[in-house]
Amino acid sequence: MINKKICLLAFGIFFGFVLSRVGASDFNLIYGMFVGSDLTLAGVMITAIVVGAIGMQLVRRTGRPMKNGETLKISHKKLGRYSLAGAGIFGLGWGLSGACPGTVLAQLGEGKVLGLFTFLGIICGTYIYGVLKEKNAGL
């Protein structure tokens, strides 16, 4: 039997490779998407969303249990009072750095030094969120 962690690592490496190949870690392609001059990456994202949504619906409708024996439940996440601010900060960070938490790892794998600063920013932001969440249970 193949070790689960090795399978997850292999899938992660494959996913990072695919992100790199489609240009998801290229600042110029991301910039082009945001200004509307190159919608290649937007097409990749839309395709992934559609394929994922169809797959999730198929799994849910078959009623087959998952490995833990439960059936898949898809529920809506409630918006909190800071959801819009968080989305704005995420978008601003993505636009300025050209990376989101998934693509920054692909940038690091490609040897893009600026990805290191984005990665450190993600770590700091996550830490600050954790501190604020602990102090303010309403976040």
CA pair distance 139, 73, nearest whole angstrom: 24
CB 106 within 8 A of CB 19: yes
Question: How many other C-beta atoms are found inside a 10 Å radius of the C-beta of residue 98?
Answer: 23
- Coil vs helix vs strand at 31: helix
Question: How many other C-beta atoms are found inside a 10 Å radius of the C-beta of residue 109?
Answer: 15
Q: How many CA atoms lie within 13 A of 84 on its CB side?
A: 1
pLDDT digits (tens, 9 = 90+) for 30-61: 888 888 999 988 898 899 999 999 988 888 88
pLDDT digits (tens, 9 = 90+) for 81-130: 788 888 898 888 888 888 888 889 899 989 999 899 999 999 998 898 88
The pTM (predicted TM-score) of the whole model is 0.70
